[in-house]
Every structure is written in structure tokens, then in C-alpha cells.
Structure 1
Amino acid sequence: MTETLAEKAEAVERTPSLYHFAMVEPSEFDVVYEINPWMATTDRPDRELALAQWRTLVDAYRAYGHTVEIIPGVPGLPDMVFAANGGLSVGGIFYTAKFSTEFREAEGPLHAEWQRANTATKVVEATFVNEGEGDYIALGDRVLAGYGFRSTIESHRELEEAAGREVVSLHLVDSRFYHLDTALCVLDEARGLIAYFPGAFDDDSRATLERLYPDAVKVSAQDAEAFAMNSVSDGKHVFHAGAAREFGRIVEELGFVSVPLDLSQFLKAGGGIKCCTMTLRD
């Protein structure tokens, strides 16, 4: 007999872990070019509202005990607010981002410089195009890695060698979900519980996810379009887009605490909660 969500929740005690995040101030945030389907220079964000939304996210993290490092915004780099794209901390290294678009190419070196100055993590310079945590999700002894739009599969092999972790390549096929962190999120890192939108992946990648994570939560297209998968979880509290109401209900039924937040101004650039959040790991 198949367990209901409530029965699954009763069998598990959700315990939060404390995380160390880095976030970039949205002082320069704007939409002045178009590099994904969400961006339109005719629909630019309200920068004052964006700053208020970002501060609410920072405050929410800190209210639940997480540490947040603030990196100043840099003039001319409106998308640097999406800190997750700047690289990946895993296996004792920081693997740098290497952007293919000229609009963002300066971000990778700036994040590497910040890591060298503020952490003890060894910085490994990428030689292949990748967009950091946007396409890399560390989970246990493996890294889930997206490709198809922003990161190359060659970078997956380079990361695997540098970090000494298994890297599982997942092919993204819907341009609305151009980064892995818009299509998949980790709900409970300790237990290996994930959520994902099946429509973002090709058949082989869906089969891989089914095999590796048979208990995963599969979200609807409606919630995926509301950026439900661009969420951050500490194992108990799930910080997610408030517009993803069904997803909020599901995580509550699974025993998590739903923390809905409005980052609507960042969605105008194709970003959300996770995009704004880089996880720092020793």
C-alpha cells in the first residue's frame, strides 16, 4: 500500500541544519539585456521593491539561525545579485564559474577573489563553461549537474576530478528552466530527499532521477513556473516562492515548515530565492 504524505511525515522528524550563505546586494540589479525567456527590457524591476524583497530573504535566513555574508554589488553587473551562479563549494574546494555570456563573464573572477579573501577554501579555476550552483547541486557524496543551456557537460567531468565526487549529469530541455536550480531542489540533504519538475528534463534524465531518488517530490508545471524549485531548505524550513502554493502545502504535509517569500522582482530576470543564495561549505 502506498504511503500518504501525512504518513511519510509522521515517520520522520525534520531537523534543521545551520548553513553559511553568501549573498550579493542588489544595489545594481536591473534588466538591461535579455539572456533567458523570463527577461524583458520592457518590464524592468522596481529596484526599491527588489531591495526590500531581498532584505526580507536575508532576515528570514538569519531568523532561523543561518549565517549570511553580504557581498557588495558591482556596477555594470546587474545579475551578480544571483550569487549562486558564481561558483560551487564542495569537497573542500571552490570551483569557479565561467560564464559564456559577455554580460556576466566578470562575475566568476570576482567571486573567486572574494573566496580567496574571505574563506579558507581552495579555489579551483574552471576551464569549461559553467554557472556554479545554478547548475550544480551538492547532495551527499554526489553532485547533481545540469547541462543544455548554460553549463557544459565537459565542466561536469572537470568538477568530478577536482572535487573527488560523483557528478550525475542531467539534461535540461525546457529553456524556461535554464538552470538546474530552477528545476530541482533539495528538501532534506541528510536524507537525500529532493523535489523536481519532470518536464524540465529529457527522458534519460527523468529515468536517472527516478532510479536515484524514488521518493522524490514531483511538482506541477504551475508551481514550476512560479519558481517553486528555486527554493532553499535547511532540512526543516523550506524557503520558497509564495506563489507556489501547492508546493507549500506539499512540504507542510511532509512535515517541513513552509516559509513563503515574495521575490517577484527577481523573477523578472529569471531568478528567485536559490539564485540569490550561494552555500559556503568548508
Structure 2
Amino acid sequence: MSTHPTLQQSQATPHPEVPERIAQHRRYLMCRPEHFTVSYRINPWMEPARPTDTAKALRQWQQLHDTYVQLGHDVELIDPVPGLPDMVYTANGGFVIDGRALGVRFRVAERRGEERPFMDWFAAHGFDVVEPVEVQEGEGDFLLVGDTVLAGTGFRSDGASHREVAEVFGREVVSLTLTDPRFYHLDTAIAVLDPVEGPGGVDRANIAYLPGAFDERSRAVLAERYPDAILVDEADGAVFGLNTASDGRNVIVSPRAVGFIAQLRERGYVPIAVDLSELLLGGGGIKCCTLELRG
């Protein structure tokens, strides 16, 4: 019997009427939250007066790490740096496609110390590192769906960074504007469920998103491009339900996003609940702690 109870869910059999989802191997970069605390406020989730429990954050983070490993994914680690409590949110450390890593330029001063450690790590591990010009916060605001990059703006990443991403990676970039300060990064309002097309180019419900996090134009773009997307309600969005990691079959998700979990099952995905409630005090969840390394 598995010692990881949530992984028992991965053995569930989808309803026969829904498509069989295929798990794909992933390589992730993570950082142990050894210095995690909330000593400043740079997003609506952070309350410096509210105590944080670093030991609890470490236990929850370890469960996420172990879940990835038990699913067969590779997890690389970057060393945490004292004085940089948000380094655990590795998704903001860069954007990596085809072995090329675009570094970040944080908007907020409190996180700028993270920029060089991430770029140094990429360089030391064989990635072609591109020094950023524009202000942007990595995979927090850039999500790869097939050959297209969905790019967020409105709170952290400048719109000019979207042009930079298009030039660096030679991909189509679709700009989306966030309007709710609770969802200040794109990866808090969109979950990429199937990053690539299905067998034979079959269309799949590639993403899930929270319509209320976007302006009218962005909602229209998403509706046109992803007509079969899962639309997540406010209650599930507010518990960072969309801040997930998916391998195309298994979706690591907050246990509090109960409606979204039911929607995932209906579409043939296998939700695996991992609670990162302590790290949510810093404004980050599952995806925030997970940077995909695309070789």
C-alpha cells in the first residue's frame, strides 16, 4: 500500500464516456522553504502580522515534492538563500522552453535578490540563459499551451515583456489582462491541464480558468481559443484552486477546491489533493512552487 494517501487517487478509473488522459513526464525545479516567512506585504494574501509556521510550510512542501517523485517526475532543487523568503515560489524564477531559460526582472524590490541565483542555476545546469530586459515574473505570468504562450499583465509583468518572450522563444504570445488583485499572476487564474495536443491532434480541454479574474477582452479571447475549457467558479479560485500542476492526467490541486476537483474528474483527469495552506499565506500555491524545466 502507498504511504502517500493522496496518490491512491491516481489509480481511479475515469468514467468510460470521457477520454483517457495520458500522463507525460515532467522535470521541475523546486526550492525548500527553509527561510519562509511573511515579513512584508506585496500581494493581498500576505499579512505580516499573522504568524507563519516554517516547519509546517516545509512539511507541506515536502508532500508536494514527494508527490511529483512518486508520479515519476524529475525534481531538481535550487538552494534557498537566507533573506529571500519567497524563493520557494520557483515558478517566478524564469521561463524555460527547449533548453533556453529567460531570466526575470521582478517588479517588487523585495524579490529582486532572487533574480541572479535563478539565472546562475540555469547556467550551471546547461541551459542557454537569456538576460531579461523587460519587467516580468517568469512562469507566474507565462503559460505554455501547445505552441502558444499565454502571457499575463495587469499587476506584475509589463506588456512589453510579452514581445520579448515572443522574440526569445519564437512562439505566438497571447496577451491577457488580469483585473483582480487577488489573482496577480496568470498562474493563479489559469491552469494548463494538457500542455500538448492529444493523440492525432485531437482537441482537448487544455485549460481551466476563472473568468472573473480577467477583463472583457481577455475573456473573449479565452472563450474563442478554448471553447471546451473548464470554467472555475469564484469559490475555487479564491482558494488558489487554479494554481495547479498537471502532467496531462494527474492534476495536483488544493483540497479546498472541491468544485474544481469534481470538474476535473468529470473530464477524465485524476485530481491529487496536496495542501499548501501555509505557503498560501505568502500568496503562493502548488504551481507557484513548481517551475517546469523544458529541455
TM class by smaller structure:
over 0.9
Shift of 1:11: 4.3
Give me the whole-angstrom Cα distance separating, in 1, the residues matched to 2:100 and 2:152.
19
Asked whether the 8 Å contact 1:21–1:278 carries over to 2, the reply is yes
Quote the residue 1:4 is aligned against. none
- In the alignment, structure 1 residue 171 sits paired with structure 2 residue 184: no
Give me the whole-angstrom Cα distance separating, in 2, the residues matched to 1:8 and 1:129.
44
Quote the residue 1:60 is aligned against. 67
Mapping 1:140-219, distance limit 5 Å: 140-191=146-197, 193-219=206-232
Q: Which residue of 286, 290, 293 corresponds with 1:273?
A: 286
Asked whether the 8 Å contact 2:34–2:80 carries over to 1, the reply is yes
Give me the whole-angstrom Cα distance separating, in 2, the residues matched to 1:151 and 1:174.
14
> Paired residues, what number?
276
Q: Which amino acid aligns with 1:82?
A: Y
Aligned-residue Cα RMSD (Å) equals 1.5
- In the alignment, structure 1 residue 108 sits paired with structure 2 residue 121: no
In the alignment, structure 2 segments of 5+ residues that lack a partner are 1-13, 198-203
Give me the whole-angstrom Cα distance separating, in 2, the residues matched to 1:143 and 1:9.
32
Quote the residue 2:48 is aligned against. 41
Give me the whole-angstrom Cα distance separating, in 1, the residues matched to 2:246 and 2:68.
10
Q: Which amino acid aligns with 2:53?
A: D
Q: Which residue of 104, 113, 137 corresponds with 2:143?
A: 137
Give me the whole-angstrom Cα distance separating, in 1, the residues matched to 2:122 and 2:99.
12
Asked whether the 8 Å contact 2:145–2:194 carries over to 1, the reply is no
Shift of 1:254: 1.0
Quote the residue 2:89 is aligned against. 82
Shift of 1:44: 3.0
Q: Which amino acid aligns with 1:75?
A: P
Q: Which residue of 17, 29, 39 corresponds with 1:22?
A: 29
Asked whether the 8 Å contact 1:44–1:268 carries over to 2, the reply is no
Q: What is the CA deviation profile of residues 131-151 of structure 1, one whole-angstrom value per residue up to 9, with x for unaligned ones? A: 000000011111000000000
The structure where strand makes up a greater share of residues is 1
- In the alignment, structure 1 residue 50 sits paired with structure 2 residue 57: yes
Q: Which amino acid aligns with 2:135?
A: V
Quote the residue 2:8 is aligned against. none
Asked whether the 8 Å contact 1:9–1:254 carries over to 2, the reply is no
Asked whether the 8 Å contact 1:9–1:253 carries over to 2, the reply is no
Mapping 1:235-254, distance limit 5 Å: 235-254=248-267
In the superposition, the TM-score normalised over structure 2's length comes to 0.91
Q: Which residue of 52, 67, 71 corresponds with 2:78?
A: 71
Per the alignment, do residues 81 and 12 of structure 1 end up closer, same or farther by CA in structure 2, a change over 3 Å counting? same
Give me the whole-angstrom Cα distance separating, in 2, the residues matched to 1:176 and 1:216.
22
Asked whether the 8 Å contact 1:28–1:75 carries over to 2, the reply is yes
- In the alignment, structure 1 residue 93 sits paired with structure 2 residue 100: yes
Give me the whole-angstrom Cα distance separating, in 2, the residues matched to 1:108 and 1:145.
20
Shift of 1:274: 0.2
Which secondary structure state, in structure 1, belongs to the residue aligned with residue 156 of structure 2? coil
Quote the residue 2:270 is aligned against. 257
- Give runs of ≥4 in structure 1 deviating > 3 Å: none
Asked whether the 8 Å contact 1:97–1:131 carries over to 2, the reply is yes
Shift of 1:92: 3.8
Q: What is the CA deviation profile of residues 3-56 of structure 1, one whole-angstrom value per residue up to 9, with x for unaligned ones? A: xxxx99724111100100000110011100000000000113211110000000
